[in-house]
Chain A
Amino acid sequence: MTILQNIVISILEEVAIQDANQYPANVPTYQIPRERFAEIAKVMKTAGARLVAEWATDETLHPHHPLPHQGGGGRGMGFGIYACYAKDSEYLIIKTYTPLEDPTFPSLVKKFVPAYRFERQMKSLMGVVPVGHPDPRPWIKHEDWPEDAYPLRKSFDASKPIPRVAGEYRFIKAEGEGVYEIPVGPVHAGIIEPGHFRFQAVGEDIINLEEKLGYVHKGIEKRFETLSWEDGAKLAGRVSGDTTVAHALAYCRAVETMTECTPPERALWLRALMLERERIANHLGDIGAICNDVAFAFLLYQFSILKEKLLRTNLKLFAHRLMMDKIILGGVAVDISPDAKNGILTEMDWLVNEFERLVIIYDENPSLEDRVRDAGILSPDTAKGLCVVGFVARASWQPIDCRLQNPFPPYDIIVPRVAVLKSGDVHARVWVRIEEIRESIRIIREILNSLPEGEIACKFILPSPDIAGFAVVEGWRGEVVYWLQSGPRGEINRCMIRDPSSVNWIALEQAIHGNIVPDFPLCNKSFNQSYSGNDL
């Protein structure tokens, strides 16, 4: 019995019922009465837990399984409302039901800030209404969608286009002498994804930034419901292309928990090898791009040469530069030869040498330092309050890394050392990533030095009907969360995806306060969150 579990049981006693159909066993799910949903959030907050995700499911078509103490509750009574909490190495899921005739639930936004967007999204896409939420505007769904188009509902026909209606999205406006507004996007100046930023500014100082996202909403979660379990891994690999390995891995791990399938040891280690290579490649590219945003193009080009070499090795070893579709249910799709193993070890020796030269140049350059230090500060308190994850959290004194807190082989043996910094500025986010590259190189060397022999995949069994699985994987941006549920016929009934961006985007709005407009690209790049992973 874990701490969070104890809290739930001590407060709710027998009205909290553990759901036996939720996997894995170390992430317990409790079904509770709807009116006590926010009460649990309050005690979780007091206990120091963070809100990981909040989502809804449509279970109106499920067969009815009455549960005791719930007034004949159970499946088939409407929409499932879920909240996932985490504290240290514990994860806990709380669920409740809300009927089709009155699809409301108590909002958690007063306890947890991330609920602000989660709940707007649930309302927009599933049509379940958070009572007590201060912001009625849609999220992801844009103002020109019909009000009653709820794509995640089973009654919604997702194959047809939906009509455009007249609508308006009201941004928060600042008023006063000299205040002006800058709209940016959705089409941005660089080669980046689309999103809209609305600045309120006086002179060069930013008073407020408001993000409007959802432009790359492709209906991914709904799409999963039409795919086979095997094809789901491919789609997961395209939720956010730069994080293809972590997403595919989190999906596969969630499905594997449902069938209690354990891939062969060698497959698990190769998965970690790919995950760390993805981390290094993205970190290299981003550190260079951050330097470029303060007009130090030299380091952009230098770092991009290193990144290019890694991607070429990926192509040679895994037949794909980004390692897409190499993680499959039950294992991995490609093995590496002993020669390739030595090749990677030599590559790592080369990388350490080249990388450390560039780090010295970064570190010794005062004009660079002048721009990156004290810019875009996300204070430790704010970071904690916003429940941010990944390198953004670690640069603001939050030691969250699910390779440590929720380890799977080989991270139980090769334990990562986590770099945590306190200053929360652009420099801290760069430096945390520099340390992570060093650490990933060490992990890759250790993986290769003791890579187990054997098969690279096992036979995958289909999940049985009416169960759910959960998994977290530390991608390069941070904790990637998947929660999957099988339907009455054993199909994918719901796939909930929480990219780190879904919680971290809101932190950028906070970090930009007190900065000047010309520093926005720099601050934004230092967060570098995914639009596609957020919009889904």
Chain B
Amino acid sequence: MLRILHQIFRTGIVTEPLPSAIEAEIEEVGARLEEAIKRRFRRSLTIRQVDAGSCNACELEIHAINNPVYNSERFGIHFTASPRFADMLLVTGPVSRNMEIALCRTYNATPCPKLVVAVGDCGCSGGIFGESYASLGGVDKVIPVDVYIKGCPPTPVVMLQGILKAVGK
């Protein structure tokens, strides 16, 4: 136990402020957002992540925004196990044929108002997998998308930026 406490004090708080350009952007949307978040989301944003066919690199970076360095919880962002509690679907792609039905069901199970964010080059447009018998392409081929986060995979900072942008919509 002492060792654990010692390690906690040694580590301290590692959470970093976001890069200044993004901080500024957050400041800017922040004022507009505050009211909206308070009203619409009760000061917190609950996300259901759906992998609709990704190669799992995007999942790694979504995990990373939860690590102590990016600490997405500080913005009131948390991930939920059920779409029924979610305000936002964070969808990675491309949407595979075999995930199309599951993605639609998840979308329908999410209460309105809901936001959909397509993550990664594949989620945005199908990426290197394109459209084929097995891949339907970008997320917007199947469900309506509010915000696109590009990158292969997007870095955690870009990911957070995109999520905050979606809330501002």
Contacts and interface: CB of A to CB of B under 8 A. Distances in A.
A47 to B, nearest CB: 37
If over half of B's interface residues share one DSSP class (helix, strand or loop), that class is named, otherwise mixed; here it is mixed
A308 B59 contact: no
A128 interface: no
B112 interface: no
Nearest to A312: B69
B108 interface: no
B60 interface: yes
Given A192-B51, A193-B59, A324-B57, A219 B102 contact: no
Contacts of B24: none
B56 A531 contact: yes
A305 B69 CA distance: 7
A194 B99 contact: yes
A321 B61 contact: yes
Contacts of B46: none
A161 B49 contact: no
Interface string B134-168: 11100000000000000011010000000000000
A247 to B, nearest CB: 10
A396 interface: no
B102 A532 contact: no
Contacts of A298: 4, 7-8
Interface residues of B, number: 50
Contacts, number: 152
Nearest to A142: B98
A250 B16 CA distance: 37
Interface string B8-36: 10010010000000000000000000000
Contact of A532 (B11, B55, B133, B152): B55
A305 B11 contact: yes
A337 to B, nearest CB: 23
Interface residues of A, number: 57
Interface string A100-130: 0000000000000000000000000000000
A498 interface: no
A191 B79 contact: yes
A157 B68 CA distance: 47
Interface in B36-95: 49-64, 66-69, 79, 81-83, 94
B42 to A, nearest CB: 22
Nearest to B71: A301
B129 A218 contact: yes
Given A218-B135, A240-B56, A186 B129 contact: no
B60 A241 contact: yes
A446 B129 CA distance: 38
B63 A191 contact: yes
Interface in A395-442: none
Contacts of B68: 301, 304-305
Contacts of B99: 186, 194, 215-216
Interface stretch (A53-61, A231-239, A372-380, A381-389): A231-239
Contacts of A186: 99, 102
A15 interface: no
Contacts of B64: 304, 308, 311
A357 B51 CA distance: 35
Contacts of A308: 64, 67, 69
Nearest to A536: B134
Given A215-B99, A216-B96, A158 B132 contact: yes
A426 B132 CA distance: 39
Nearest to A244: B57
Interface stretch (A83-91, A171-179, A358-366, A479-487): A358-366
A304 B60 CA distance: 11
A194 B58 CA distance: 14
B49 A191 contact: yes
B57 A217 contact: no
Interface string A294-317: 000010011011011001000100
Contacts of A189: 81-82
Interface in A182-228: 186-187, 189-194, 214-220, 222-223
A189 B49 CA distance: 9
Nearest to A234: B128
B111 interface: no
B98 A220 contact: no
A358 B129 CA distance: 40
B136 to A, nearest CB: 7
A305 B60 contact: no
Contact of A219 (B14, B61, B82, B129): B129
A461 interface: no
Interface of B: 3-4, 7-8, 11, 14, 49-64, 66-69, 79, 81-83, 94, 96-99, 102, 106, 127-136, 152-153, 155
14 contacts: A142-B98, A151-B133, A156-B133, A187-B106, A216-B98, A219-B135, A238-B55, A242-B57, A244-B57, A298-B4, A324-B152, A361-B3, A532-B54, A532-B56
Which 5 residue pairs spanning A and B have beta carbons closest together?
A: A241-B57, A219-B134, A189-B81, A304-B67, A241-B55
